Chains A and B, each alone.
Chain A
């Protein structure tokens, strides 16, 4: 069965500092990986996705993530955090084919200090 672990429930960073959110997955084949962001009371917005090819993927809002098959990880990074990045971040794993429902991690809450 597929699963996603986000080991950090909360992360606190200062504005302007770099950010890395961790995501580890378990999946039997080549995974499709996603990062979503959720602002309070809102739905989830896709930040970036990995299907195949280059293991470093660029997303919206200056985010990037790196797929490391050997470590079963797909960590999200941003070089300089803005106060507006404060939100909940979800990592998800899915498979090829529409019948495979993506599995979501429990989320990491990002707090940004001025």
Chain B
């Protein structure tokens, strides 16, 4: 079974630009969550999508948005990039049901804003 796939692995963007990151979950998983990881703040939850609907949302500005497609693949978009958005962005997929809190992570997308 293929794991969670994130593309691209690395990105360099300029301040003010926008960026889109992609995540393909494990086959059969309908929940996709996004996290931002920085040395200072640790792992911070951005949002979660389940069956194409945003089910949970963290405390991030509206510049951070996402969506999920019918095949469960998800994209995350950050508009008007700031230097502080430089981070490792991790995607995690989870199975449905009572054991659904077990998250499976992708390798992440390293975003550098210059």
Interface residues of A (CB under 8 A from B): 32, 34, 36, 41-46, 49, 51, 90, 92, 94-107
Contact = CB atoms under 8 A, between A and B. Distances in A.
A98 B42 contact: no
Given A98-B96, A99-B56, A107-B42, A43 B106 contact: yes
Nearest to A106: B42
Give the interface residue-count category, chain B.
20 to 34
Contacts of B104: 46
Contact of B48 (A42, A49, A101): A101
B98 A97 contact: yes
- 5 closest Cβ pairs, A-B complex: A98-B100, A94-B101, A43-B105, A44-B105, A106-B42
Contacts, number: 69
- DSSP majority for the A interface? loop
Contacts of B64: none
Contacts of A49: 102
A96 B90 CA distance: 23
Contact of B101 (A36, A44, A100, A105): A100
Given A42-B108, A43-B90, A43-B107, A104 B101 contact: no
A95 B97 CA distance: 11
Contacts of B92: 44
Contacts of B102: 32, 34, 46, 49, 94
Nearest to A31: B101
Nearest to A90: B43
Contacts of A102: 101, 103
Interface in B65-102: 88, 90, 92, 94-102
17 contacts: A42-B107, A42-B108, A43-B4, A43-B105, A46-B102, A46-B104, A51-B99, A92-B103, A96-B98, A97-B98, A98-B50, A98-B98, A99-B50, A99-B100, A100-B101, A101-B33, A104-B42
Given A44-B90, A107-B43, A97 B105 contact: no
Nearest to A6: B42
A99 B45 CA distance: 14
